[in-house]
A = this chain, B = another copy of it.
């Protein structure tokens, strides 16, 4: 495994959010497995932040959990903006696609 601290942090944050949401829905790993198309062992590994997951896998999971992808990557503090800036004080302009 062994990733940089940023990668490790994001893997754990995302894994925690997935697990929390799964519990909210009252789903077992087995049930989420059916809904998402990932196997139970894979889900266990992802939820514990032990895998450098591919984007498609996360997207399938968000669909199964009925949340949007940006939620998984949202900042923790409720303060900051998180929509695409169209020319901002931060000095970049990502929108529009």
Q: Output the nearest chain B residue to A77 by Cβ-Cβ distance.
A: B83
**Nearest chain B CB to A87's CB is how many angstroms away?**
10
A12: CB under 8 A from chain B?
A: yes
Tell me, in angstroms, the Cα distance from A10 to B75 when the chains sit together.
19
Q: How far is the CA of A3 from the CA of B73 in the complex (A)?
A: 21
> For chain A residues 1-41, which have a beta carbon within 8 Å of chain B?
3-4, 6-7, 10-14, 16-17, 20-21, 24
Q: Report B-chain residues with C-beta under 8 Å of the C-beta of A4.
A: 56, 59-60
Task: Pick the contact of A11: B55, B70, B74, B82 (CB < 8 A).
Answer: B55
**CB proximity to B under 8 Å, residues A72-97:** 72-86, 90, 92-97
